[in-house]
Amino acid sequence: MADDNKNNMTRYAMVFGTYMGLFWIAKFILVPIGVTTPFLLLLFFCLTLCVPFLGYYYTKMYRDRVCGGQISFFHAWTFNLFMFICASMLTAVAHYVYFAFIDQGYLIGVCKDMLATIETSNVPGTEVYVTQVKESIDILEALTPTDIILQLLVNNVYNCSLLSIIIALIAKRRIKQTTMTQDQ
């Protein structure tokens, strides 16, 4: 029975992780467009805030449909961790395709254009910030698509492992066994 639960957990984590990954990919599409359209960037951030709720929803579905309405903290945490790792890996593939074949320096170029606009505005006190942003852009330009993807993948797994703890604490549920006492 333990192997069946393990197989079910892995299978459902992969399925829900695929759904979560597709959600992340759709959300990521808003980033290159949102750099020039603030509303779409705001939509990206709002959808990012939906990720914990979506993770809880999938965990609750798994708990109620597969685990019979009860799940321990460790089981829920493991399920969430697997689900988020699957989502991160799927999203990393889409990120690689974007940065290796589609972007061609577009995001860096837009950041440089914005920085040039800020530089020419001659706002007092921004010189230090402009210098820091220039240094950051120089570092980003030196990164290969593989470097970017690995960094994004590590960030996703780390942040989602922490998020999994919170979701597991909220989603865990034990069905209490009631004992019947007989009057004598």
Query: 131-154: per-residue pLDDT in tens?
Result: 898 999 999 999 999 999 999 999
The model's pLDDT over 109-135, given as tens digits with 9 standing for 90+, comes to 998 998 888 888 877 878 888 889 899
> Which tens digit of pLDDT belongs to each residue from 45-87?
999 999 999 999 999 999 999 998 899 999 999 999 999 999 9
In a domain, 132, yes or no: no
Residue-wise pLDDT tens digits, 3-52: 566 678 999 999 999 999 999 999 999 999 999 899 999 999 999 999 99
In a domain, 111, yes or no: no
Q: Tell whether 142 is covered by a domain.
A: no
Would you say residue 31 lies in a domain?
yes
Report the sign of the C-alpha dihedral through residues 64, 65, 66, 68, in that order: positive
Please report the sign of the dihedral spanned by the C-alpha atoms of residue 52, residue 49, residue 43, residue 138. Answer: negative
**Domain total of the chain:** 1
Domain region containing 71: 2-102+149-171
179 pLDDT above the threshold of 60: no
Task: Give the angle 54-58-60 at the CA atoms, nearest 5°.
Answer: 115
Other Cβ atoms closer than 10 A to 31: 13
pLDDT at 182 over 60: no
pLDDT of res. 1: 45
Confidence of residue 2 (pLDDT cuts 50, 70, 90): low
Is 94 a member of any domain? Answer: yes
Task: For residue 95, give the amino acid letter.
Answer: H
Q: How far is CA 19 from CA 13, 54, 91, 173, in A?
A: 10, 10, 11, 24
pLDDT > 50? residue 184: no
**Phi, then psi, of 71 in degrees rounded to 5:** -155, 140
The answer to whether position 87 is within a domain reads yes
Q: Determine, yes or no, domain membership for 60.
A: yes
pLDDT of residue 3: 58
Rounded Cα distance, 54 and 19, in Å:
10
Kindly report whether the global pTM for this prediction surpasses the value 0.85.
Answer: yes
- For the chain, give the secondary structure using H, E and C: CHHHHHHHHHHHHHHHHHHHHHHHHHHHCHHHHHCCCHHHHHHHHHHHHCHHHHHHHHHHHHHHHCCCCCECHHHHHHHHHHHHHHHHHHHHHHHHHHHHHHCCCHHHHHHHHHHHHHHHCCCCCCHHHHHHHHHHHHHHHHCCHHHHHHHHHHHHHHHHHHHHHHHHHHHCECCCCCCCCCCC
pLDDT at 175: 66
Q: What was the pLDDT predicted at 183?
A: 47
121 is a domain residue: no
